[in-house]
Structure 1
Amino acid sequence: MARGVKDQGKRVKTARGRTASSVRWLERQLNDPYVKQAKADGYRSRAAYKLIELDDRFAVLKEARRVVDLGIAPGGWSQVVRRRRPQAAVAGIDLLPVEPLEGVTILELDFLAEEAPGALLAALGGPPDLVLSDMAANTVGHKQTDHLRTMGLVETAADFAIATLAPGGGFVAKVLAGGTDPELLALLKTHFRTVKHAKPPASRKGSSEWYVIAQGFKGGIETPPGMGES
């Protein structure tokens, strides 16, 4: 019978059919102040506060006019962009369906698909000033494999940013413990004036996630993958 919860320090008793890991997840959700605040503020996920905290520290959204949100589901980061930069054009992409957001073009498409870069640029109507990526690969339970899969997404996102960003633009992406791989870090330092790592307070203490913040894109516009002449 254990379905009751307390108002403070809520604990979920194990019920038939509920695994110990699901109980821990539910307890964490019930007691997470960011989850509660997200509901109060109308954000779709607690992840919104990660971008808010990164923006407060690094001003990543300052003067952004065109923003790409890679891995947009469920939409918390794009909500932050719209609230802080209401005049900005925003295009997001995800394999998962996402409920519509006012002022945001949402593409239900694999970011790795050949047509994805062109579709994002077409939705924005020009080169982005900021590329955001909160993407992470689906885990398989093998730490090294999960790391490689997620970092592969980060590298693809970085390639997209370098190929499409307007001069002076920025790139923010989720990475895992240990930060950005040396080769990718060197690439970012070549193309951006500053490259930093941060773990916003909204990232759970036990999480291995960090964020790389690259600002001041140096280059011009290159032809992104899938945008060449036929």
Structure 2
Amino acid sequence: MAKDTTGRLHVQVKTGGKRKLSSKLWLERQLNDPYVAKAKAAGYRSRAAFKLLEIDDKFRLLKPGMAVVDLGAAPGGWSQIAAKRVGSREAKGKVVAIDLLEMSEIPGVDFAQLDFMDNDAPEKLTAMLGGKADVVMSDMAANTTGHRKTDQLRIVGLVETAVAFACDVLKPGGTFLAKTFQSGADAELLAQLKRDFATVRHVKPAASRQDSSERYVLATGFRGGTRSESDTPSRSG
């Protein structure tokens, strides 16, 4: 066990047995990540909770009484923050979380295990919310293949589909926040967002690992209205 440049003890994981080098590096990074320890101490389900906290502290997206949709919510770190900030635990606001995976119960959060790409997903979500959403947020990431260009297209495609979903369920003036990655493949995504929202910007919270190309696209001031079929990515179902 050695100390890093900040003086903190650095845990090194031994390579051995059936553990691959990639698994060793991931485990080592987790054990030495201060946000992982902070999340555990604070009772958050993931370190990603701090990313949303930082973004919301800066841009004030989540306000008491709002209706929020959390796409790809499991394990629930973002839903925990949203529930606290909109007051859904006190029945002031509403948080609906969606994921293909199961997610254990969170106070103030209504969970639906479904695919947001299904054609009837927007209708189901609107029914659960009792109306339209103020915020649609997503910390999802597409499964990677290891082929850089393919992965970039998958990531951007997932966000484009999330934008189409958001346009189905957001109130005029609403907000969309989603994880993406810095690449040259997102020009059409940004053009799409600028057509549908008044302001579009990229943000990178301090809790995002600095060696990662991860960043978030934040679109505010949804213009409302319906999109033409040519503007809307196809859904499954």
Same fold (TM over 0.5): yes
Matched, 1:217 2:222: yes
Change in 2 beyond 3 A, CA 1:121/1:180: farther
* Percent of residue pairs identical: 55
Q: Give the C-alpha shift of residue 26 in structure 1.
A: 0.9
Deviation at 1:195, TM superposition (A): 0.7
What secondary structure sits across from 2:165 in the alignment? helix
Which letter does structure 1 place at the counterpart of 2:93? A
Alpha-carbon distance between aligned partners in 2 of 1:223 and 1:93, rounded to the nearest angstrom:
25
Structure 1 segment 1-230 matched on structure 2, within 5 A:
8-63=9-64, 65-86=66-87, 87-178=92-183, 181-220=186-225
Equivalent-residue separation in structure 2 for 1:219 and 1:167 (angstroms) = 5
Which structure shows the higher strand fraction? 2
* Alpha-carbon distance, 1:180 to partner: 7.3
Report the AA paired with residue 14 of structure 1: T
Q: Deviation above 6 Å: which 4+ runs of structure 1?
A: 4-7, 221-225
1:64 Cα offset (Å): 5.8
The answer to whether the Cα contact below 8 Å between 1:94 and 1:109 also exists between their aligned partners in 2 is yes
- Aligned residues of 2:156 and 2:189 also touching (Cα < 8 A): no
Which stretches in structure 2 are left out of the alignment for 5+ residues? Answer: 233-237
Q: Distance in 2 between matches of 1:118 and 1:43?
A: 30
For residues 136-175 of structure 1, what are the alpha-carbon distances to aligned partners after superposition, in whole Å with 9 as ceiling and x for unaligned? 1111111111111111110011111122211111000111
| Structure 2 Cα separation of the partners of residues 39 and 109 of structure 1 | 28
Q: Report the Cα offset of residue 61 of structure 1.
A: 1.1
2:116 and 2:165 in contact (8 A); partners too: no
Contact 1:191 1:219 in 2 (8 A): yes
User: Does structure 2 conserve the Cα–Cα contact (< 8 Å) formed by 1:70 and 1:133?
Assistant: yes
**1:165–1:221 CA contact under 8 A, matched in 2:** no
Counterpart-to-counterpart distance in 2, 1:189 and 1:182: 11
TM-score (norm 1): 0.89
TM-score (norm 2): 0.87
